[in-house]
């Protein structure tokens, strides 16, 4: 039953589909902000685990980073990863923050040395690998697949 009151429904700046925030111009800036916040929250969860009575080792923190934080960052990256330098810089800041905590070093430690020491690949390289593997997967789809038709 329809209501006789005149209510106006306004469009939002972004819509959310499968945890991907899309705006009119497809800039994905809002999505990157959300991804950064989720990655930081996940990293804070690893801080809580590391600060427990016995704590966790550096190797276990690395495993948590690869299993949790990287997956948060890489989710839907074949769609939003357009090669924007600004997006990569903002995501790299989160990665550097997490790596500093994992290694237990000060903020003044050079990040290049930290990446080598922790054996964590550059975020740009990881994004390129994921996007490239997705492109290879799309090339291997048969023509009879309903996605192509």
Instruction: Give the predicted TM-score (pTM) of the model.
Output: 0.80
Q: Is 52 within a domain?
A: yes
Could you tell me if residue 63 is inside a domain? yes
Looking from the CA of 52 toward its CB, the CA atoms found within 13 Å total: 11
Question: Which is it for the CA torsion 137, 143, 147, 148, positive or negative?
Answer: positive
Domain count, the chain: 1
Query: What is the extent of the structural domain holding 95?
Result: 15-139
Q: 4-63, pLDDT tens digit by residue?
A: 778 888 888 888 988 899 988 888 999 999 999 999 999 888 888 888 878 788 888 888
In a domain, 80, yes or no: yes
Can you tell me the mean pLDDT for 121-132?
91
In a domain, 129, yes or no: yes
How many CA atoms, within 13 angstroms, populate the side-chain half-sphere of residue 109? 19
Residue 35 confidence (pLDDT): 93
Residue 90 pLDDT more than 70? Answer: yes
Torsion angles phi and psi, residue 79, rounded to 5: -90, -50
Dist. CA 39–CA 91, nearest whole Å: 9
Mean local confidence (pLDDT), 106-113: 90
């Amino acid at each position: 039953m329809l209501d006789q009151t005149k209510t106006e429904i306004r469009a939002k700046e972004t819509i959310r589909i499968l945890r991907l925030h899309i705006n009119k111009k497809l800039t994905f800036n809002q999505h990157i902000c959300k991804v950064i916040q989720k990655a930081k929250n996940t990293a804070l969860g690893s801080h809580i685990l590391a600060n427990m009575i016995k704590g966790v080792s550096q190797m276990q923190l690395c495993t948590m980073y690869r299993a949790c934080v990287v997956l948060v960052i890489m989710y839907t990256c074949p769609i939003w990863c357009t090669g924007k330098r600004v997006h990569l810089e903002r995501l790299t800041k989160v990665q550097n923050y997490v790596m500093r905590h994992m290694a237990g070093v000060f903020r003044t430690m050079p990040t290049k040395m930290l990446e080598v020491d922790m054996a964590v690949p550059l975020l740009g390289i990881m994004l390129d690998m994921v996007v490239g593997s997705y492109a290879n997967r799309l090339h291997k789809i048969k023509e009879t697949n309903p996605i192509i038709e």
